[in-house]
Amino acid sequence: MGVKTLKDPLVWIDCEMTGLDVERDALIEVAVVVTDGDLTIVDPGMDVLITPPAGALENMNDFVRHMHTSSGLLEDLKTDAVSMEDATEQVLSYIKRFVPQEGKALLAGNSVGTDKMFLEANMPSVINHLHYRLVDVSSIKELAKRWYRAAFSESPEKHGGHRALADILESIQELEYYRRVLFPSEPVTTERAREVAREVVALGIPTMGEQAEA
C-alpha cells in the first residue's frame, strides 16, 4: 500500500519503561506499527531498544524487574540498545515512510496516554508529527465492560509478554475484535443518526448552574 493511498492512518505505538513515573523512570523500548483506518497493517513494524540513563535499571521495583527479565528485555538491552537520539530518528523516519504529512495520523494503542506521556518527555518530535487525538483501545474495552459484558468477557486472551511489538499487534487484534462485536457492519443511515441525535438532545444535560440550584 503506497503512502498516497493510506487512508485515515493510525500509528500504533507501545513503550516499555522502567516504571510509570515520567520524572524518574526511563523509556527503554519503543515499537511502532502503522495501519490504515480499517486496521490493515501496512508493514510488519519496527522496534528499537534504548540505552537507559545511569541508575534507571537499579531503581526498578521488583515487579517491573521480574517482568522485564522474564520477557528478555533486560538481556537484550545489553547488546542491542541505542541512544535516545538514534532511537528517535529511527521511530520518526519509520512513521514518515508511511505518513509523511504532519498532523495526519492518530496515535493508537492500549492505555496509550501513558505512552504519549513518555514520548512527549523523550521523543517530542515523534508526538509533534502526530495528530493530537488518540485511539485508545482500553477506553472501548472499559465501555464494553459496562455496557456489553459478554463482549468484554470473550475478548481474545493476550500473550504479548510485555514486549512492545507483540503488545501492539495484540492491541490491533483487540480493536478488530471489538469492531466486529460492538460496531454494526452496516453503517447507520443519516436519517437514523439524526433521529438518535434528537433523542439524546431531548434527554437534556443540566448546566452547572442548574446542578447548583437542584
| Active site residue ranges | 132
Residues 151, 107, 36, 40: is their CA dihedral positive or negative? negative
What's the CA gap between 78 and 196, in Å, rounded? Answer: 57
What's the CA gap between 16 and 29, in Å, rounded? Answer: 5
Count Cα atoms within 13 angstroms, Cβ side, for 100: 5
- Residue 155 has a CB neighbour count (10 Å cut-off) of 15
Residue 149 to residues 35, 153, 179: CA-CA distances in angstroms? Answer: 28, 6, 15
What's the CA gap between 195 and 76, in Å, rounded? Answer: 56
- For cell 508526538, the residue is 127
What's the CA gap between 39 and 47, in Å, rounded? Answer: 19
Please say whether the beta carbons of 105 and 132 come within 8 A.
no
Count Cα atoms within 13 angstroms, Cβ side, for 109: 23
Please say whether the beta carbons of 105 and 68 come within 8 A.
no
